[in-house]
Amino acid sequence: MSDADDILLVDRGASTVTLFSDPEDGDYRLHHLAPFGKPLPLSEPFGFDLETAEFL
């Protein structure tokens, strides 16, 4: 794995944003999904809600 702990995937086809976090053994144990238009909470070190309305 790289030094990045979280991956943010913007899926324009499905109109969703997914945050993959908590990597372990080459896989991500947690994922949080939000449809475009709904906020997606980002963990530290960012610590804010990503507004996704602009993706619509």
Single pTM value for the model: 0.82
Predicted confidence pLDDT, tens digits, the chain (56 residues) = 445 688 999 999 999 999 999 999 989 999 999 999 999 998 887 889 999 999 99
Q: How many domains does the chain have?
A: 1
Give a yes or no: residue 1 inside a domain. no
Tell me, what DSSP letter sits at residue 51? P
Give a yes or no: residue 2 inside a domain. no
HEC states along 35-49? ECCCCEECCCCCCCE
**Structural domain that includes position 34:** 7-55
Residue 52: which region, alpha, beta or left (left: phi > 0; alpha: psi -120 to 50)? alpha
Give a yes or no: residue 13 inside a domain. yes
Look at residue 33 and give its three-state secondary structure: strand
Give a yes or no: residue 48 inside a domain. yes
